[in-house]
Amino acid sequence: MSGSSSAEDARGRPPIEPGAGRRGSRSASVPARPEPAVVVDTSSPLPRAVGTPRETPGPRYERWWLSPREWIGPLAGLAAGSVLARLWLGELRHEATGIGVGGVLLLGAVLVFAVRLILRRWGKLRSIAAAVVPPPPPTEPPPPSRPTQLDQGVRDIRRTDRGFDPAKFAGYAGMMFRDVENARMARDAGRLRDRLTPAMYADLLAFCDGLRTTGRSLRLNDVEVTAETTEAWQDGNRDYLTAYVAGAMLSHTVEDATGEVVAGSRTKPTAVEAFLTFTRPAGLNFWMLSIIQGAHGLRGK
């Protein structure tokens, strides 16, 4: 192994950094897949909490008479009307009227009684219509979820890089996957030399040299993939992060001399499912691709 490293150094390649690793302490473990999303069924709305209205007797059970206490209002009105009628009739006693004193008093009493009864009925109707519906009981907030291994890893990385965002990094991982595929198609590993660890660069270089030696080329079209960060952790003074890349693309290998397809298909898309692991010295340093694992792509050891 040391001889291989020395040979690489002699050819101008960067030396392998001790402890860089492929996946650090997780090299022997299987990369984590994205957690399934929790689907909430909103087709059936939650039942509304409706209070029971106050019981009120129906109209046919209402009594039509007034209690003695309820007569106080009409009698007071009758007395007041009587006093007003006497004063009015005293001033106009010399004029002939078509209604006597008794008729005026009786008419006033009937009006007061009718108004009192109407107001009482109207108040009861309002109380029935405005039956109080108690608000639904307050719902307790769900208990806080326990942090996942990804959350704990991101927290550790943010100790030295406070602005680290795993969601934004997923976009970079997807872009890096496309760049690696384009480098394979161009048979040119040098374009990504500064963005790969030495071990990953050696893999890509060997792949490109193999295509060139066998007289074959890789063809790619319609690369449509998405990426999601699934793992983050620290090993000593190094950060590690794994992103899951999935999608499809048209990929096939052809013979340079004849153009014959020897692998893949010109028309049938190839499924993509790969795990890209990146590493860097802890802190505000540049992430470098360490390994690609999965059904498609470079399979590092």
Q: What is the pLDDT of residue 182?
A: 94
Look up residue 247 and give its two tokens: 């999608």
Quote the domain boundaries for residue 253.
147-294
**How confident is the model over 28-35, as a mean pLDDT?**
84
Task: Give the closest residue to 236 by CA, choosing from 16, 25, 32, 28.
Answer: 25
> pLDDT (tens digit, 9 = 90+) per residue, 45-101?
555 544 454 554 444 444 545 555 555 555 555 555 565 555 555 554 545 455 555
Are residues 103 and 170 located together in one domain of the fold? no
Q: What is the DSSP letter of 30?
A: P
Domain co-membership, 197 together with 86: no
Question: Does 115 have pLDDT greater than 90?
Answer: no
Residue type, position 5, single letter: S
Domain boundary (129, 160, 185) is at 129
Task: Determine, yes or no, domain membership for 271.
Answer: yes
For the chain, what is the domain count? Answer: 2
- Cα 208 to chain centroid distance, Å, stands at 42
Please report whether residue 41 resides in a domain: no
Last residue of a domain, one of 129, 157, 173: 129
CB 181 within 8 A of CB 223: yes
In this prediction, residues 18-32 reach a mean pLDDT of 76
116 in a structural domain: yes
Average pLDDT over residues 110-131: 64
Quick check: 53 and 133 in contact, CB under 8 A?
A: yes
Q: Please report, for the domain that includes residue 270, its CATH number.
A: 3.10.450.240
Report how far apart the first and last C-alpha atoms of the chain are (Å, whole number): 14
Asked, for residue 85, whether it belongs to a domain, the answer is: yes
Per DSSP, 195 falls in state G
Question: Judging by beta carbons within 10 Å of its beta carbon (0-12, 13-18, 19+), is residue 220 exposed, middle or buried?
Answer: middle
Mean pLDDT of the chain: 75
pTM over 0.85: no
Could you tell me if 225 and 292 are in contact, meaning their C-beta atoms sit under 8 angstroms apart?
A: no
**Listed range (46-55, 113-122, 199-208, 244-253) with the worst mean pLDDT:** 46-55
Backbone angles phi, psi at 32, to 5 degrees: -80, 140
- How confident is the model over 229-239, as a mean pLDDT? 93
Chain segment 172-195, per-residue pLDDT in tens? 999 999 999 999 999 999 999 999
Residues 110 and 158 in one domain: no
